[in-house]
Amino acid sequence: MKRTTIELADGRELIYFDERDDAVRDQPDRRELPPPPPASQLRYDPLTDEWVAVAVHRQSRIFLPPADQCPLCPSRGDRLSEIPAPDYDVAVFENRFPSLSQRIASEPAEITPFTPVRPGQGRCEVVCFTDDHHTSFAGLPPARVRTVLDALADRTAALAELPGVEQIFCFENRGVEIGVTLHHPHGQIYAYPFVTPRTRAMLGAARRHAERTGGGNLYADVLAAERAAGTRVVAANEHWTAYVPAAARWPFEVHVAPHRPVPDIPALTDAERDAFGPLYLDLLRRFDALFDMPMPYIAAWHQAPVRIDRELGHLHLQLFSIRRATDKLKYLAGSESGMGVFINDIAPERAAALLKGGAPA
């Protein structure tokens, strides 16, 4: 894989990850752009012990443009985009409308004695999986999935070195039902200046399990139990298992986990990275086949924090959809949004059977 870094017209960084060593990426960004916005504001919620980002500049971001105006397609002729090259394999760049950034203008003022405020220091990046606007991640060949995984490993390691970054989150949103604003196949990476609430909860459970068991890894033990039961296992190979969690929150939710406990994507071996693509592509195609239509989903990589509790983590990908039937979506209504208590309409065992193809939808 060849890695080439350039600077966009407004000073943001773009990195090409090419599968050919002879790829030339010296095309300049010919656009005239305003300076990137300053970092957002983080406000602390004392009632939940959580940070909330207030990023007002994101209100003006591009929303579902037509294909001939897509900012993630390659630049060709006078149609200039975020990618100056006329083609690419995988490209990663700083988000033009970031929720978090290193561009800190000033320290925000205090709101109340109970609500500390600080700059939204971090970084947000866009990961373009392909220059083909009309495909999807499921349509990529396994070799491209490997390139994407290598790019995520590269960016996870690099972002972990930035000042103040505590956690790296790689993810993909797919489908207007999920809330995507661009149709081009792409994902994102957030470098947070704190450990996120979901990760803190998982680390707390993992720590208590380690204390009870004399050092056991909670996720590894859960994975072993699911593999032994087999009921909810959808697919597996030598290095990875994809299974529906016994307490799945979403109508269709699958965890894809390496058999070897590792803290993050950079820690995966070449063999583990090669084995991921075929299994994951098969899983995505199973999702699309459920209702014979493109499945909206979120694919979320759970990685250990950058500086703390890394021994408690176990890298895994959480893939889930809000679609529960051909004409029905799962909404986060009163119980989920108000209290954080999920109510699942589909038994995890049935979801696994449907994904395995052994039951009618």
In angstroms, the Cα distances linking 157 to 184, 191, 256, 263, 323 are 26, 11, 21, 12, 34
Taken in order 323, 325, 326, 329, the sign of the CA dihedral is negative
Q: Which two tokens stand for residue 127?
A: 């990961």
Q: Which two tokens stand for residue 118?
A: 């600080």
Residue 194 phi, psi dihedral angles, 5° rounding: -155, 165
Active-site position among 133, 134, 183, 186:
186
Cα–Cα distance measured from residue 307 to residue 319, given in angstroms and rounded to the nearest whole number: 26
Q: Which two tokens stand for residue 268?
A: 């995966």
Provide the 3-class DSSP secondary structure of residue 106: coil
| Residue 186 known to be catalytic | yes
- Amino acid identity for residue 342 in this structure: F
- Amino acid identity for residue 150 in this structure: D
- Amino acid identity for residue 213 in this structure: T
CB neighbourhood size of 114 (10 A): 10
Cα–Cα distance measured from residue 91 to residue 189, given in angstroms and rounded to the nearest whole number: 13
Taken in order 210, 212, 215, 218, the sign of the CA dihedral is negative
Residues 6+ apart with CB under 8 A from 207: 309, 312
Length in residues, the chain: 361
Q: Which residues are catalytic?
A: 186
